[in-house]
Amino acid sequence: MGDTLHDLIFDYTLRNVALGSALLGIVSGVLGSFAVLRRQGLLGDTLSHAALPGICIAFLLTGSKDSLVLLIGAAIAGWIGSLLMLWVVRETVLSEDAALGIVLSTFFGVGIVLLSVIQHRNDANQAGIDRYLFGQAAALIERNVITFAVLGGAALFILFLLYKEMKLFTFDPAFGDTIGFNSTLLSVLMTTLLVIAIAIGLQTVGVVLMAAMIIGPGAAARQWTNRLGVMLVLGGIFGAAAGICGAVLSVTESGLPTGPMIILSLTVIVVISLLFGSAQGILRDGFQQRRNRRNLAAPDFEAEEVAP
């Protein structure tokens, strides 16, 4: 334990990986909680897969593998995908799930084609682009961590400024419309913040696994509380814990990839929360139902003997 703590502080690689993963966990845990409450579990999956063609196009246009350039491309593609999804829902009879599925498959298909084109080019600089499929957290450097902190901090600051509006939009958008809030604008803004979280996570856990980081921390937090503010805090804590645990396990145990280890750590947190959560945990509900059955079975009064 002491050696691990020492390495977290003084080992350059482990410190960067742990800090980057923790920042990803905090941002995705807080923002993803809103997606969980709005029952948009597929949204994170769609936006993360939609980011792949943006990464490829950014590389083809610039020839640069600089992480900031590629993340800007990913964010733009994810944002375009979200706007397309909202347009399909508004202008057609398709459900939101159907629209998300269409955007996910189309953008990811385009991304895989572009990735194949890049890999078949006679360009030595293309090596490593495919790491965005599954992430490569071990390649994080201090500049990446600073970029994550700036982008994530900006997203959380915007959420803090519009907390009341986002809360109302999440729980009662119809009432929000009646008092003058633009639910479409708020939906675009929330999706944009999620795109920022996904852009942060692509280098760490990759396109394929990023959806779990959006949904997992919020789903775990929901099992422990019925209050939004507490849920956001817990979501950030659970996300950060998963990021740090996964980073430590991957770096200290050679050969283990960081992205999958982060997701497996998050899975443990989610399973524990589902079982033991004090608000909606399975065991808690089971005990409550058993107690209710006992109360119903118990007589409310003792029968009195009536003299003949």
Q: Where are the domains of the chain?
A: 2-294
pLDDT band at 132 (very low <50, low <70, confident <90, very high): confident
Contact 133, 70 (CB under 8 A): no
pLDDT at 131 over 80: no
Q: What pLDDT was estimated at residue 10?
A: 57
Cα 300 to Cα 298: distance, rounded to the nearest angstrom = 6
At 123, is the pLDDT very low, low, confident or very high (cuts 50, 70, 90)? low
Q: Please tell me the distance from the alpha carbon of residue 214 to that of residue 202, in angstroms, as a whole number.
A: 12
User: pLDDT, tens digit, for every residue of 234-278?
Assistant: 999 999 999 999 888 887 766 778 888 899 999 999 999 999 988
What is the pLDDT, as a whole number, of residue 125? Answer: 58
Tokens of 112: 């895989």
The CATH number assigned to the domain with range 2-294 reads 1.10.3470.10
Instruction: Read off the amino acid at residue 213.
Output: M
Q: How far apart are CA 238 and CA 241, in angstroms?
A: 5
Total Cβ atoms within 10 A of residue 133: 18
**Residue in 219, 169, 167 with CA at minimum distance from that of residue 44:** 219
Mean pLDDT (the chain) is 83
Give the pLDDT score at 307.
46
Region 118-135: mean pLDDT is 70
